[in-house]
Amino acid sequence: MRIILLGPPGSGKGTQANFIADQYSIPTISTGEILRTAVKCNSKLGNQIKKIMDAGKLVTEEIVISLVKRRLSQADCYTGFLLDGFPRTIFQAHAMKVLDIKVDHILEFQVPDKLIIARLSGRQIHERSGRIYHTQFYPPKTPGQDDITGEPLVMRNDDHKETVYQRLTEYHKRTAPLIKYYAAETLMNNTKYHQLDGTLHMTILKKIISNLLG
Protein backbone atom coordinates (compact mmCIF):
# COMPACT_ATOMS: atom_id res chain seq x y z
CA MET A 1 0.00 0.00 0.00
CA ARG A 2 1.46 3.35 -1.07
CA ILE A 3 -0.20 6.44 0.37
CA ILE A 4 0.18 10.22 0.26
CA LEU A 5 -1.26 12.42 3.01
CA LEU A 6 -2.12 15.90 1.82
CA GLY A 7 -3.39 18.79 3.90
CA PRO A 8 -2.47 21.93 5.80
CA PRO A 9 -0.25 21.90 8.89
CA GLY A 10 -2.20 20.74 11.91
CA SER A 11 -4.81 18.92 9.86
CA GLY A 12 -4.11 15.62 11.62
CA LYS A 13 -1.80 14.05 9.04
CA GLY A 14 0.82 13.11 11.62
CA THR A 15 -1.73 11.56 14.01
CA GLN A 16 -3.36 9.49 11.29
CA ALA A 17 0.05 8.59 9.83
CA ASN A 18 0.92 6.83 13.09
CA PHE A 19 -2.34 4.82 12.99
CA ILE A 20 -2.10 3.91 9.30
CA ALA A 21 1.55 2.91 9.47
CA ASP A 22 0.77 0.58 12.41
CA GLN A 23 -2.30 -0.91 10.80
CA TYR A 24 -0.71 -1.64 7.43
CA SER A 25 2.86 -2.24 8.66
CA ILE A 26 4.34 0.31 6.31
CA PRO A 27 6.96 2.94 7.13
CA THR A 28 5.94 6.58 7.49
CA ILE A 29 8.14 8.93 5.57
CA SER A 30 7.61 12.33 7.10
CA THR A 31 9.78 14.95 5.42
CA GLY A 32 9.25 17.22 8.42
CA GLU A 33 10.69 14.50 10.72
CA ILE A 34 13.61 13.78 8.39
CA LEU A 35 14.41 17.50 8.25
CA ARG A 36 14.13 17.90 12.04
CA THR A 37 16.61 15.02 12.43
CA ALA A 38 18.95 16.72 9.95
CA VAL A 39 18.72 19.93 12.01
CA LYS A 40 19.79 18.07 15.16
CA CYS A 41 23.11 17.11 13.50
CA ASN A 42 24.13 20.76 13.81
CA SER A 43 25.91 20.70 10.45
CA LYS A 44 26.08 23.71 8.13
CA LEU A 45 23.26 22.25 6.06
CA GLY A 46 21.30 21.47 9.24
CA ASN A 47 21.58 25.08 10.36
CA GLN A 48 20.38 26.35 6.98
CA ILE A 49 17.38 24.02 7.15
CA LYS A 50 16.59 25.15 10.72
CA LYS A 51 16.41 28.80 9.67
CA ILE A 52 13.95 27.98 6.89
CA MET A 53 11.76 25.76 9.09
CA ASP A 54 11.71 28.22 12.00
CA ALA A 55 10.56 30.90 9.56
CA GLY A 56 7.69 28.65 8.41
CA LYS A 57 8.98 28.53 4.83
CA LEU A 58 9.45 25.50 2.62
CA VAL A 59 12.85 23.87 2.43
CA THR A 60 14.60 23.90 -0.98
CA GLU A 61 13.13 21.48 -3.50
CA GLU A 62 16.45 19.77 -4.29
CA ILE A 63 17.19 19.01 -0.63
CA VAL A 64 13.75 17.54 0.07
CA ILE A 65 13.55 15.53 -3.15
CA SER A 66 16.96 13.95 -2.66
CA LEU A 67 16.10 13.05 0.97
CA VAL A 68 12.86 11.36 -0.10
CA LYS A 69 14.48 9.60 -3.04
CA ARG A 70 17.15 8.15 -0.76
CA ARG A 71 14.60 7.08 1.88
CA LEU A 72 12.30 5.41 -0.66
CA SER A 73 15.17 3.32 -2.02
CA GLN A 74 15.54 1.57 1.35
CA ALA A 75 14.33 -2.02 1.61
CA ASP A 76 11.47 -1.37 4.06
CA CYS A 77 9.70 0.71 1.38
CA TYR A 78 9.51 -2.10 -1.17
CA THR A 79 6.07 -3.27 -0.04
CA GLY A 80 4.67 0.19 0.60
CA PHE A 81 5.06 3.52 2.35
CA LEU A 82 3.13 6.46 3.65
CA LEU A 83 4.30 9.92 2.62
CA ASP A 84 3.46 12.60 5.19
CA GLY A 85 4.35 16.10 4.00
CA PHE A 86 5.61 15.15 0.55
CA PRO A 87 4.94 16.18 -2.15
CA ARG A 88 4.22 19.70 -0.98
CA THR A 89 4.60 21.56 -4.27
CA ILE A 90 3.74 20.88 -7.92
CA PHE A 91 7.51 20.70 -8.55
CA GLN A 92 7.84 17.85 -6.02
CA ALA A 93 4.83 16.04 -7.52
CA HIS A 94 6.49 16.28 -10.95
CA ALA A 95 9.72 14.93 -9.49
CA MET A 96 7.80 11.91 -8.16
CA LYS A 97 6.35 11.33 -11.58
CA VAL A 98 9.76 11.51 -13.24
CA LEU A 99 11.11 9.03 -10.67
CA ASP A 100 8.12 6.81 -11.50
CA ILE A 101 6.94 6.63 -7.88
CA LYS A 102 3.35 5.44 -7.99
CA VAL A 103 0.76 5.65 -5.21
CA ASP A 104 -2.48 3.78 -4.50
CA HIS A 105 -4.27 6.36 -2.33
CA ILE A 106 -4.14 10.08 -1.69
CA LEU A 107 -5.88 11.25 1.49
CA GLU A 108 -6.66 14.96 1.59
CA PHE A 109 -7.45 16.40 5.04
CA GLN A 110 -9.67 19.51 5.01
CA VAL A 111 -9.55 21.83 8.02
CA PRO A 112 -10.36 25.59 8.17
CA ASP A 113 -7.47 27.93 9.03
CA LYS A 114 -9.09 29.11 12.27
CA LEU A 115 -9.11 25.60 13.73
CA ILE A 116 -5.56 24.97 12.55
CA ILE A 117 -4.32 27.97 14.51
CA ALA A 118 -6.08 26.73 17.66
CA ARG A 119 -4.75 23.20 17.16
CA LEU A 120 -1.12 24.18 16.59
CA SER A 121 -0.93 26.69 19.41
CA GLY A 122 -1.75 23.92 21.94
CA ARG A 123 0.11 21.05 20.28
CA GLN A 124 2.65 19.12 22.33
CA ILE A 125 4.89 16.35 21.07
CA HIS A 126 6.69 13.39 22.61
CA GLU A 127 9.83 13.69 20.54
CA ARG A 128 11.13 10.13 20.70
CA SER A 129 7.88 8.39 19.66
CA GLY A 130 6.20 11.15 17.65
CA ARG A 131 3.06 10.89 19.85
CA ILE A 132 1.01 14.05 19.55
CA TYR A 133 -1.13 15.70 22.27
CA HIS A 134 -3.07 18.92 22.66
CA THR A 135 -3.37 20.85 25.91
CA GLN A 136 -7.14 21.26 25.38
CA PHE A 137 -8.38 18.86 22.68
CA TYR A 138 -6.29 15.78 23.58
CA PRO A 139 -4.49 16.38 26.85
CA PRO A 140 -1.98 13.89 28.29
CA LYS A 141 -2.99 12.19 31.56
CA THR A 142 -0.42 14.27 33.42
CA PRO A 143 0.09 17.77 32.00
CA GLY A 144 3.36 18.06 30.08
CA GLN A 145 4.16 14.33 30.22
CA ASP A 146 3.91 11.50 27.70
CA ASP A 147 1.22 8.96 28.74
CA ILE A 148 3.41 5.93 28.11
CA THR A 149 6.94 6.93 29.13
CA GLY A 150 6.23 9.89 31.42
CA GLU A 151 8.90 11.81 29.53
CA PRO A 152 8.46 15.56 28.97
CA LEU A 153 6.44 16.86 26.03
CA VAL A 154 7.71 19.74 23.93
CA MET A 155 6.23 22.39 21.69
CA ARG A 156 7.62 22.52 18.18
CA ASN A 157 9.68 25.62 17.34
CA ASP A 158 7.48 26.33 14.35
CA ASP A 159 4.18 26.04 16.26
CA HIS A 160 4.44 29.63 17.55
CA LYS A 161 1.74 31.92 16.21
CA GLU A 162 3.77 34.02 13.74
CA THR A 163 5.33 30.93 12.20
CA VAL A 164 1.97 29.18 11.96
CA TYR A 165 0.60 32.09 9.86
CA GLN A 166 3.60 31.81 7.55
CA ARG A 167 3.17 28.02 7.23
CA LEU A 168 -0.49 28.50 6.34
CA THR A 169 0.44 31.10 3.71
CA GLU A 170 2.95 28.67 2.20
CA TYR A 171 0.31 25.95 2.25
CA HIS A 172 -2.29 27.99 0.37
CA LYS A 173 0.23 29.33 -2.13
CA ARG A 174 2.34 26.26 -2.85
CA THR A 175 0.65 23.09 -1.58
CA ALA A 176 -3.07 23.67 -2.14
CA PRO A 177 -2.58 23.70 -5.95
CA LEU A 178 -1.74 19.99 -5.58
CA ILE A 179 -5.42 19.32 -4.84
CA LYS A 180 -6.47 20.26 -8.39
CA TYR A 181 -3.34 18.69 -9.82
CA TYR A 182 -4.06 15.30 -8.23
CA ALA A 183 -7.79 15.47 -8.90
CA ALA A 184 -6.89 15.60 -12.60
CA GLU A 185 -4.00 13.13 -12.38
CA THR A 186 -5.95 10.47 -10.53
CA LEU A 187 -8.58 10.43 -13.27
CA MET A 188 -5.87 9.13 -15.58
CA ASN A 189 -4.40 6.38 -13.41
CA ASN A 190 -5.31 3.90 -10.70
CA THR A 191 -4.69 6.20 -7.75
CA LYS A 192 -7.72 6.80 -5.55
CA TYR A 193 -8.25 10.33 -4.24
CA HIS A 194 -10.19 10.75 -0.96
CA GLN A 195 -11.27 13.99 0.68
CA LEU A 196 -11.65 13.84 4.45
CA ASP A 197 -13.23 16.15 6.97
CA GLY A 198 -10.20 16.78 9.18
CA THR A 199 -12.37 18.46 11.83
CA LEU A 200 -13.80 15.09 12.87
CA HIS A 201 -12.53 13.39 16.01
CA MET A 202 -9.40 11.37 15.38
CA THR A 203 -11.03 8.03 16.27
CA ILE A 204 -13.87 8.63 13.81
CA LEU A 205 -11.42 9.64 11.12
CA LYS A 206 -9.38 6.54 11.84
CA LYS A 207 -12.45 4.36 11.16
CA ILE A 208 -13.32 6.24 7.97
CA ILE A 209 -9.75 5.84 6.71
CA SER A 210 -9.69 2.12 7.55
CA ASN A 211 -12.87 1.67 5.50
CA LEU A 212 -11.47 3.64 2.57
CA LEU A 213 -8.15 1.79 2.48
CA GLY A 214 -9.74 -1.60 3.07
Q: Is 156 a catalytic residue?
A: yes
Does the annotation place 9 within a ligand binding site?
A: no
Catalytic residue among 2, 50, 71, 88: 88
Q: How far from the centroid of its chain's Cα atoms is residue 124's Cα? A: 15
Helix/strand/coil (H/E/C) assignment for every residue in 150-168 = CCECECCHHHCHHHHHHHH
Q: Which is nearer to ligand ADP, 105 or 119 (CB)?
A: 119
Catalytic residue among 50, 71, 119, 123: 123
Q: Which is nearer to ligand ADP, 105 or 167 (CB)?
A: 167
The answer to whether 89 and 179 have CB atoms below 8 angstroms apart is no
Catalytic residue among 71, 131, 156, 206: 156
Q: Is 13 a catalytic residue?
A: yes
> What is the Cβ-side half-sphere exposure of residue 59, based on CA atoms within 13 angstroms?
27
By beta-carbon distance, which residue lies closest to ligand ADP?
Answer: 32
Q: Is 119 a catalytic residue?
A: no
Catalytic residue among 13, 50, 119, 131: 13
Q: Is 102 a catalytic residue?
A: no
Does the annotation place 45 within a ligand binding site?
A: no
Q: Which is nearer to ligand ADP, 70 or 190 (CB)?
A: 70
Residues that bind ligand ADP (CB under 6 A): 9-10, 31-32, 35, 52-53, 56-59, 64, 85-86, 88, 92, 158, 167
Burial class, 124, CB count within 10 angstroms (exposed 0-12 / middle 13-18 / buried 19+): buried
DSSP class of residue 142? S
Q: Is 2 a catalytic residue?
A: no
Helices (H), the chain: 13-24, 31-40, 44-54, 61-72, 90-98, 113-121, 161-170, 177-187, 202-213
In one-letter notation, the amino acid at residue 191 is: T
Selection from 85, 86, 81 nearest residue 26 by Cα: 81
Q: Which is nearer to ligand ADP, 28 or 31 (CB)?
A: 31
Minimum distance from residue 214 beta carbon to ligand ADP (Å): 26
Residues tagged in the binding site annotation: 10-15, 31, 36, 57-59, 85-88, 92, 123, 132-133, 156, 167, 200
List residues with catalytic annotation.
Answer: 13, 88, 123, 156, 167
Residues tagged in the binding site annotation for AMP: 31, 36, 57-59, 85-88, 92, 156, 167
